[in-house]
Amino acid sequence: VEHQINKSARADLQSEAVAFTANYSTDAAEVYYNSSLAAWNYQTGISEENLNAMNAENVKSAAFTKMYGEQAKAEFPDTSKLEESERRQIDSIKILGTANLNEADLNQYNDLTGGMEATYSTATVTMPDGRVLNLDPDLTALMATSRDYNELKYAWKGWYEAAGRPIRDDYESFVTLSNKASVADGFADTGEYWRSWYEMNGQLEATVDALWAELQPLYTELHAYVRRKLYEKYGSNYINLKAPIPAHLLGNMWAQQWGNIYDLVEPYSGKTGVDATPAMQSQGYDAMKMFKTSEEFFVSLGLDKMTDEFWANTMFVKPTDRDVVCHASAWDFYNKVDFRIKMCTVVNMEDLITIHHEMGHIQYYQQYKDQPIPFRGGANPGFHEAVGDTLALSVSTPKHLNKIGLLDEVEEDDEADINYLLSQAMDKIAFLPFGLMIDKWRWSVFSGDTPKAKYQEKWDQLRKDLQGITPPVERDGTTDFDPGAKYHVPANTPYIRYFVSFVVQFQFYQSMCNASGHQGPLYKCDFYQSKEAGAKLQKMLELGSSKPWQFAMNEITGSADMSTLALQEYFSPLTAWLKQKNLENGDTPGWTDMDWRP
């Protein structure tokens, strides 16, 4: 009898859970639509009025989250006996996040995050000649194209002071409130909450450290080769062949990707270029043409085209009449049709790649749009970041660029291949330590290991140890706040997802290449128009976060683990070439003169 009672009680609980989660998804769709729209309106029209409207919607969605979360905790204290789907949904609904905060704290939290994002998005640098430069597109272009040591140094120093310093105190206040919310959910701090999304029983940091240990040798070889080339360009006053590289010479404000100084490092000149920018500009490409080109690639794999709402509501270029958050982003409005990208598009190869990245998010949103709301996310956040980049690996091949008329001819020779692989490494390998260090820094801040007095010191130590990068000018730990000058810190967007993405995107690419029947070196694979490759990806995308990511990984690659083998195979010809080159140059990879300054 007792068994029967337990059985029927379980059946009742299960059917209650099905009803509860169904109601949640219906109500959440509307609340999430309203808060997404308010955030969209603020980011595409920065103003006091839109900030207040966004915060008002945020208060409403917090009340909604709190109401359902407390109901879930009251009605389903133990979810272990429920079916997997209801168990996972209810466990997620129970986490309130900032909805744990009282009204005063939540208003302060919203003002702090909104204000930090506004500071970042409106900061400018006044150059010695009086030019007032914004980040996007002005300083981005200067850091990419200037080869004047002192002009670069001035712009670098000016940006870090204009964007980082003003939010140092606000960031400390933000951390306190963020941790208060995470502790109320039962986490030690916000860092532990963010790591929980990877469902790795506290092993995420150990896992990414192990992946980095496998890739660090390749990074130090690339670092040594690029340092040698910068030495030839800027001379021994500014480059020490046994020391870290000054941070402002890598073609990017954060030295996170080095593709913009490819011209300084090109191994074999006179080969067909790897950059489609000239062809795009001479063929009169505009933002719309770039977006249509990207959509056509997704459709060629049998994936979805963009919706009418996408084309009607997307912000393609920077408006001239108002301040906007130019940092590119993709948006899900949770109503199965309204998906948007916000981007201040510039006609060049870098932005064509970025468009594929953002469209990768949109494709994922569309593929899981029929999942319940709690499952409308990536299998883990790194998967969401990897979709667009995986397709971009195929688009970037000289063979594909030639196929779509953006490269006049393809040379099938080893030297052209090394040029291509080095160009790819300048974005993909260079990025790895940066992708690791942002959240290494943030996790140490949330945990309390790094108090405000050590914010700058911890950042500089990670920059030096992981990236082999040193600031071009002295830093002052009591006023400087360099982390605040990188979008994701004031915008409070987690970052380890990009490190994970830069590893798994090669696993996805390899698997899709195999499905497409590709023969030959991995880096030459273009799975354009392969429905088999598209089907493999789609099987993973439509799951959303309904299953642990290990299950999704197994769906697409046949193994459940993150692995650097695909990345290492992709770059293997370059790895050998770099080792040989560094030997010839008499350069020792690594940086031992830790205290050297330019």
Judged by the rule CB under 5 A, the positions of this chain that interact with Zn ion are 385
Degrees to nearest 5, angle at CA 431 with 152 and 158: 25
- Minimum Å distance from CB 239 to ligand D0W? 25
d(CA 593, CA 360): 42
- Minimum Å distance from CB 32 to ligand D0W? 12
Secondary structure class of 134 (helix, strand, coil): strand
Cβ(113)–Cβ(193) below 8 Å:
no
Look at residues 598, 538, 493, 560 and name the one whose alpha carbon lies nearest to residue 247: 598
Residue 356 falls in the annotated catalytic set: no
Residue 400 falls in the annotated catalytic set: no
Cβ(96)–Cβ(184) below 8 Å:
yes
Site string for ligand D0W, 504-533 (x = CB under 6 A): ------------------------------
- Per residue in 285-308, is it b (16+ CB within 10 Å) or e — as a string? bebeebbebbbebbebbebbebbe
CA 271 to chain centre: 32
- Per residue in 127-141, is it b (16+ CB within 10 Å) or e — as a string? beeeeebbbbbbbbe
Cβ(54)–Cβ(39) below 8 Å:
yes
Of 13 and 141, CB closest to ligand D0W: 141
Per-residue tokens: 87: 């168990």
Of 534 and 544, CB closest to ligand D0W: 544
Catalytic member of 109, 155, 223, 327: 327
Point out which span in 324-332, 458-466, 535-543, 569-577 binds ligand D0W (CB under 6 A): 324-332
331 binds, among ligand D0W, Zn ion, none (CB under 5 to 8 A by kind): ligand D0W
Residue 328 falls in the annotated catalytic set: yes
Instruction: For residue 328, state whether it binds ligand D0W (rule: CB under 6 A).
Output: yes
Point out which span in 6-14, 188-196, 351-359, 572-580 binds ligand D0W (CB under 6 A): 351-359
Binder of ligand D0W out of 192, 389, 417, 439 (CB under 6 A): 389
- Minimum Å distance from CB 1 to ligand D0W? 51
Of 155 and 496, CB closest to ligand D0W: 496
437 burial (CB, 10 Å; 0-12 / 13-18 / 19+) is: buried
Instruction: For residue 330, state whether it binds ligand D0W (rule: CB under 6 A).
Output: yes
Catalytic member of 498, 509, 528, 570: 498
Catalytic member of 123, 358, 487, 495: 358
Catalytic member of 248, 361, 384, 518: 361
Of 385 and 480, CB closest to Zn ion: 385
Site string for ligand D0W, 230-259 (x = CB under 6 A): --------------------------x---
Element (H, E) at 150: helix 149-159
Of 545 and 582, CB closest to ligand D0W: 545
Point out which span in 16-24, 171-179, 326-334, 574-582 binds ligand D0W (CB under 6 A): 326-334
- Minimum Å distance from CB 168 to ligand D0W? 20
- Cis preceding linkage at 137, omega within 30: yes
Residue 248 falls in the annotated catalytic set: no
Phi, psi of 542 (to 5 degrees): -70, -15
Instruction: For residue 25, state whether it binds ligand D0W (rule: CB under 6 A).
Output: no
Instruction: For residue 458, state whether it binds ligand D0W (rule: CB under 6 A).
Output: no
- Minimum Å distance from CB 361 to ligand D0W? 5
DSSP string of 328-394, one letter each residue = -EEEE-SSSS-EEEE----SSHHHHHHHHHHHHHHHHHHHTTTS-GGG-S-SSHHHHHHHHHHHHHH
Point out which span in 26-34, 279-287, 357-365, 457-465 binds ligand D0W (CB under 6 A): 357-365
- Minimum Å distance from CB 377 to ligand D0W? 8
Instruction: For residue 331, state whether it binds ligand D0W (rule: CB under 6 A).
Output: yes
d(CA 390, CA 288): 22
d(CA 512, CA 387): 12
Of 351 and 555, CB closest to ligand D0W: 351
Look at residues 117, 140, 103 and name the one whose alpha carbon lies nearest to residue 50: 117
Residue 38 falls in the annotated catalytic set: no
Instruction: For residue 358, state whether it binds ligand D0W (rule: CB under 6 A).
Output: yes
Residue 32 falls in the annotated catalytic set: no
Of 90 and 349, CB closest to ligand D0W: 349
Residue 151 falls in the annotated catalytic set: no
DSSP string of 548-586, one letter each residue = -HHHHHHHHHSSSS--SHHHHHHHHHHHHHHHHHHHHHT
Instruction: For residue 384, state whether it binds ligand D0W (rule: CB under 6 A).
Output: yes
Point out which span in 56-64, 216-224, 328-336, 545-553 binds ligand D0W (CB under 6 A): 328-336
Catalytic member of 56, 63, 328, 491: 328
d(CA 459, CA 475): 11
Per-residue tokens: 376: 């409308």
d(CA 293, CA 213): 37
Point out which span in 166-174, 350-358, 405-413, 470-478 binds ligand D0W (CB under 6 A): 350-358
Residue 385 falls in the annotated catalytic set: yes
Cβ(108)–Cβ(173) below 8 Å:
yes
Catalytic member of 86, 161, 192, 385: 385
Instruction: For residue 361, state whether it binds ligand D0W (rule: CB under 6 A).
Output: yes
Cβ(378)–Cβ(547) below 8 Å:
no
Where does this chain bind ligand D0W (CB under 6 A)? 256, 327-331, 354, 357-358, 361, 384-385, 389, 498
Residues serving a catalytic function are: 327-328, 357-358, 361, 385, 488, 498
